[in-house]
Amino acid sequence: MINCIDQSKDYSNKELYQYLSGVNIPSFVKEATISDLKHAGVLTKTAFADQENRLFPINSKAKTYVSNAFFVNKRAELEKLQGSAHVEKTAEILKLAARIHGIESEVAEYNKIAEARLNASPKDKSIVFKIKTADSVSEIDLFTVKTAGDVTRQAEGFIQNINRYPFEWRRGISEQFVKAAESFGIDELPDLILKYAGQFYPDLNHVKQELARRMTKLSEENKARYQQLIDVVGDTSSKEEFFKLAECVYYTEKNAGLYEKSFYNKILGDPVDQIFTLHFSKVASDTDVIEMGGEKFAAADLASVPSDIYHKAFGFELDPKSAEAKDILPTMPKADVALFKQLSGIEAI
Length of the chain: 349
DSSP structure string for 94-106: HHHHHHHHT-HHH
Percentages of the chain per state (helix, strand, coil), in multiples of 5: 65, 10, 30
pLDDT beyond 60 at 283: no
200-202 and 295-298: which strand pairing? unpaired
DSSP assignment of 196-245: HTT-EEE-HHHHHHHHHHHHTTS-HHHHHHHHHHHHHGGG--SHHHHHHH
- The mean pLDDT value for 95-122 works out to 86
CA–CA distances in Å: residue 183 to residues 74, 118, 119, 143, 156:
19, 11, 12, 15, 18
Average per-residue pLDDT for the chain: 84
Q: For 264-290, what is the mean pLDDT? A: 79
- CA-to-CA distance for 114 and 73, rounded, in angstroms? 7
pLDDT in tens, 171-181: 999 999 998 88
292-319: pLDDT as tens digits = 887 888 787 888 888 888 888 888 888 8
pLDDT for residue 99 is more than 90: yes
Say what the alpha-carbon torsion angle 43, 49, 54, 59 is, to the nearest 10 degrees. Answer: -20
pLDDT for the residue numbered 175: 92
Of the candidates 230, 218, 296, 298, the residue with the CA atom closest to the CA atom of residue 254: 218
pLDDT higher than 80, residue 146: yes
pLDDT (tens digit per residue) in 181-190: 888 878 789 9
Q: Any idea where the domains of the chain sit in the sequence?
A: 7-118, 123-196, 200-276, 288-344
